[in-house]
Structure 1
Amino acid sequence: MYIMELQKPEVTAMPTYTLGCQRQISAANYIYYADGCPHPDRIMQEHDFVYMINGEWEILQNEVPFTAMNDDVFILHAGQHHSGNKNCTPGTRTIYFHISCSPQDSFIGNAPFPGSTLPPLIHCSSFPRVKLLFQELISVRLSPSPNKDRKINALFDLLLLELQDSCAQNSHTQDTLLTQAITLTAQNPQKFYKTSDMALLLGVCPKTLNQRFREAYAKTFYQYQMEEKIHLVQQFLLDYPDSKLQTVALNFGFYDEFHLNKIFKKHTGTPPGLYRKTLTANTLRPH
């Protein structure tokens, strides 16, 4: 096991965790603190990841306090001094795991290898997949699967990337309007939402909806939805080469085969039937 040397902290330290490394989890589980207690005073040679299911807890890393509440994540970096002066609230529940270091992990950031740069405390209430990944890591670690180590490494990389996304979103004003609009269109591929209809569902005016999409994606809601549909049709044509175009049109919210042909050709330069033949002949997948 790689032993991480103690790295002197900097005021603006932003640790980096290398992706694609072989790691091992030495301990992982759910913990319930009936009466509350402070965090242990220690320096570990592994990273300590803690998900707060509920409760409140102040933990110090190199004497700097961080207070986590429901759906927050602590990342306590290996080789650093961790302690607690206060008890967590009674009834606090957490998920934790201790995972081995990579020689390329860095407490002061600027790692020369691809990785996720993450602060010690991350708010994840808008990213439910973070909790699911913690739970899956616990489940896999306890399983008898012969592929346990590979699964753990894959899940840990996914967790790092999800935490990175959470940090990126937290650094801006969270736009739940976009999230709701995108989720509705993704969950209902057979529907084609007019901008006015989607705006009505979300309780805003069409102008506001389009403005938010332009700010985030440099396109209107209609343009975003259409491009996503074209991508879905491209994949469907390849996966189901014998499907009728009328069926494809109905599956993805187009009025009929003629409507699908017109829109598809406008966006790709090729009618869907010819596009499918070309893909099939060359065994290519759409990008």
Structure 2
Amino acid sequence: MEDFSEYIPAHEQGIQCLQGLFFNNPSNKAKKLFNYPLWTGEYLVDYPYLIDRQYMNSFIVFLIEDGELSFTFDDRHDFTARKDSVVIMDCKKRNHYFAKSPCKFIFFHFNGEQVQALYDYITQDNHNLFPATKTIKQNINQIFNLFKTRAFSEKEASFSELIYQLLVSLTTIADLSPTDHSILRHTPSMVTQALNYLDQHYSEKVTVTDLCKQLGVSSSLLSQTFRTYTNNSVHEYLTSVRVLHAKGLLTTQPDLSIAEIANCCGFHDTSHLNKVFNSETGMTPSKFRKICF
């Protein structure tokens, strides 16, 4: 069994371990071929909880279940992760995180041959904080619950697949930078309301006219203001959101047909999805699914 004790402070303050810690000793096969977990837990923390780690050969994911946790990572800007957000970091670089108020979260350390390339893609815009979609939350909880079975040697392939699915889901979110509404603090409420409406109703038939009626503004004002603050037209943004969700279903729901995914994501039919998806990604949905699986 690998010894992780040097990475875990002996006397952590401001911490209550709700579940765990659960440790895994990956096999040589897993280290060579798979994505593999190292350890996990569920914490409830409060001030003065603080971790300042200079180096560890692993990656870490946090799912913030309640409250907020503050981070300083590498040479990137400080940020605060709040409820229903996910954080991913490369622990080979200095990572510092702390609580100013109560926060509940699940975390797990992991590694693997494929992880660095996926991590670099996910964080290429210096973002380590992302919204925790329903799919991502389910995925992290599946990994956590699998840890609790302690059946590591029998479940190495399952762990690897779940970690890969999580990372692919994060790449699809990273592809759509406008969904990071935290950068829009000073944006007119008209635009943030429009973004929120499109995020929630992407699966429906949505027109600019419908959106303007919802917001009580003119089409010309919304179109001009929306492009100014998002660098996208309403249609471009809606298309990106639909493609994002299509990618998520393609990579996490192998039993869904292309036609079903088209219907779930607001496309007219399979032909419409194929045309838009190929224009956005350079490949058909079927080819994208084959690459991911």
TM-score in terms of structure 1 length: 0.49
- Structure of greater Rg: 1
Greater length-normalized contact order (CA 8 Å, ≥ 6 residues apart): 1
Which of the pair is proportionally richer in helix?
2
